Amino acid sequence: MIMLEKRAQPSRVWTLAAPIFAVLLTMICGGLLFAALGKDPFETIRTIFFDPLFSEFAWFYRPQLLIKGAPLVLIAIGLSFGFRAGIWNIGAEGQYIVGAICGAAVGLAFYPTESIFIFPMMIAAGVLGGTLWALIPGILKVKFDTNEILVSLMLVYVAEQLLASMALGALRNPDGMGFPGSRNLAKYDSATSWISENAGMHWGVVVALIAVIFAYVTLSRHLFGFNVRLAGQSPRAARFAGVNPSTLILICMGISGGLAGAAGLFEVAGPAGQISIDFNVGYGFTAIIVAFLGRLHPIGILLAAGLMALTYIGGEIAQSNLGLPGAAIQLMQGMLLFFLLMVDVLSNYRVTFRRARVI
């Protein structure tokens, strides 16, 4: 019979192979699903995974991958610090919203003044907003030992209410004829995060790449990175090594909140353009999948975000060109995480075939 035997050390080969294997399994099962829906599975898989990169209109879709991927990378990089240390910030979506609100508020306060100082101030406000929002569950955990998973998640819903009230109240466009939503920041030269709209380049893309490099160096070369990894693998050992768990919690929550806030600011000042009631579209939650799919490794996260962006954009093409229902795409994205967790068993366990011993 098939037995699972725990490995002493997680298998290095399987750790790296698992994501690739999960993607292949998703393609196969996704293909079966699409076939069951009466679509050509090969054409559908090609449309989702290859058309955005290599089709006739790839010149349009490639920049879109940057736009869709940048916030995922930024948020997932921030989350990866905490996740490595065993600190579970599930509320990046809320920090993303608050960052966007704070940053946009600064920009809107200066409207219509033009100055090169406005955008840096917006970034600062966005980062600060996200950081402070993330520090609420952090401080509650340190002071009162509350569960950061619950508190950070609940604060997402608070942030959504705050967003609705801002879009209808304080930040509402005075020239908007009574409709909700702020002025369009993408049309305000001093406040926009766009560098080149047609190339898909905005400051969020640049900062996301910097964050990847920065995280890579910190995690592999810096004492802080070592402490983070140690705290995750062995909290007792970390304590003996002089790591203060409270400080670590606050720093990890702060980093993830700050980066999520920055992602929100870059989004609201560029691709989204305005604070509206449904400004957030779930980047904060998708980034959790991205972080794990990327093995909490900066380069892995970059690749995983690219893959997720691909399925979003390819999924839309499949919907409009092949008439695939939207839910089928979401199912396939869900499969990706499901198969990854499944294949992950192989990196921690060895599969052996033998007779069960009768005792």
Partner 1 sequence: MTIKSIMAGATFAASLSTAAFAEDPTKVGFIYVGPVGDGGWTYEHNQGRLAVEEAFGDAVETVFVENVPEGADAERVLQQMALGGADLIFTTSFGYMDPTINVAEKFPDVKFEHATGYKQADNVSVYSARFYEGRAVQGHIAGHMTESNVIGYIGSFPIPEVIRGINAAYVQAKAVNPDVEFKIVWAYTWFDPAKEAEAATVLIEQGADVILQHTDSTAPQAAAQAAGNVVTFGQASDMAEFGPFPRVSSIIDNWSPYYIARTQAVIDGTWESTSTWDGIGSGMVGIGEITDAVPAEVKASAEALRDSLASGEYHAFTGPLNKQDGSAWLADGETADDGTLAGMNFFVEGLTGEIPQ
CA distances 274 to 74, 105, 114, 146, 218, Å, are 20, 11, 18, 35, 34
Taking contact as CB under 8 A, which single stretch among the options 26-34, 237-245, 291-299, 321-329 is the one that binds partner 1? 321-329
Least distance CB 155 / partner 1 (angstroms): 17
Interaction of residue 334 with partner 1, rule CB under 8 A: no
CA distances 273 to 106, 181, 285, Å, are 14, 10, 21
Q: Which of 150, 317 has the CB closer to partner 1?
A: 317
Q: Which of 139, 209, 277, 337 binds partner 1 (CB under 8 A)?
A: 277
Q: Which of 70, 231 has the CB closer to partner 1?
A: 70
| Binding-site string for partner 1 from residue 103 to residue 142, where x marks contact by CB under 8 A and - marks none | ----------------------------------------
Q: Which of 201, 290 has the CB closer to partner 1?
A: 201
Least distance CB 334 / partner 1 (angstroms): 15
Q: Among residue numbers 72 through 101, which ones bind partner 1 (CB under 8 A)? A: none
- Residue 238, judged by CB atoms within 10 A of its CB (0-12, 13-18, 19+), counts as buried
Q: How, if at all, do strands 2-6 and 349-353 pair?
A: antiparallel
- Among 207, 263, 305, smallest CA distance to 94 is for 263
Q: Which of 220, 244, 246, 323 binds partner 1 (CB under 8 A)?
A: 323
Query: Cis omega before residue 112 (within 30°)?
Result: yes
Cα angle: 93, vertex 23, 94; to 5 degrees: 0
CA distances 321 to 47, 51, 314, 345, Å, are 9, 11, 10, 37
**Residue where the block lists tokens 């619950």:** 150
Least distance CB 90 / partner 1 (angstroms): 20
Q: Which of 64, 190, 218, 348 binds partner 1 (CB under 8 A)?
A: 64
Taking contact as CB under 8 A, which single stretch among the options 29-37, 87-95, 308-316, 331-339 is the one that binds partner 1? 308-316
Least distance CB 265 / partner 1 (angstroms): 14
- Among 279, 255, 264, smallest CA distance to 193 is for 264
Q: Among residue numbers 247 through 276, which ones bind partner 1 (CB under 8 A)? A: 267, 271-274, 276
Q: Which of 17, 140, 158, 317 binds partner 1 (CB under 8 A)?
A: 317
Q: Which of 313, 336, 340, 343 binds partner 1 (CB under 8 A)?
A: 313
- Among 193, 243, 250, 191, smallest CA distance to 74 is for 193
Residue 317: CB atoms within 10 A of its CB come to: 17
Q: Among residue numbers 141 through 200, which ones bind partner 1 (CB under 8 A)? A: 161, 164-165, 168-169, 177-180, 184, 196, 198-199
In sign, the C-alpha dihedral spanning 54, 336, 212, 67 is positive
Distance CA 3, CA 340 (A): 20
Q: Which of 81, 188 has the CB closer to partner 1?
A: 188
Give the interface size with partner 1 as a residue count (CB under 8 A): 41
**What are the residue ranges of helices labelled H in 37-117?**
41-49, 51-54, 58-84, 92-110
Q: What is the DSSP string of 119-187?
A: HHHHHHHHHHHHHHHHHHHHHHHHHH---HHHHHHHHHHHHHHHHHHHHHTTT--TTSTT-SS---GGG
| Binding-site string for partner 1 from residue 200 to residue 239, where x marks contact by CB under 8 A and - marks none | ----------------------------------------
**Residue where the block lists tokens 């640049």:** 206
Q: Which of 40, 326, 345, 352 binds partner 1 (CB under 8 A)?
A: 326
Residue 272: DSSP 8-state: S
Q: Which of 80, 311 has the CB closer to partner 1?
A: 311
The contact set with partner 1 (CB under 8 A) reads: 57, 59-61, 64, 67-68, 161, 164-165, 168-169, 177-180, 184, 196, 198-199, 267, 271-274, 276-279, 281, 312-313, 316-317, 319-321, 323, 325-327
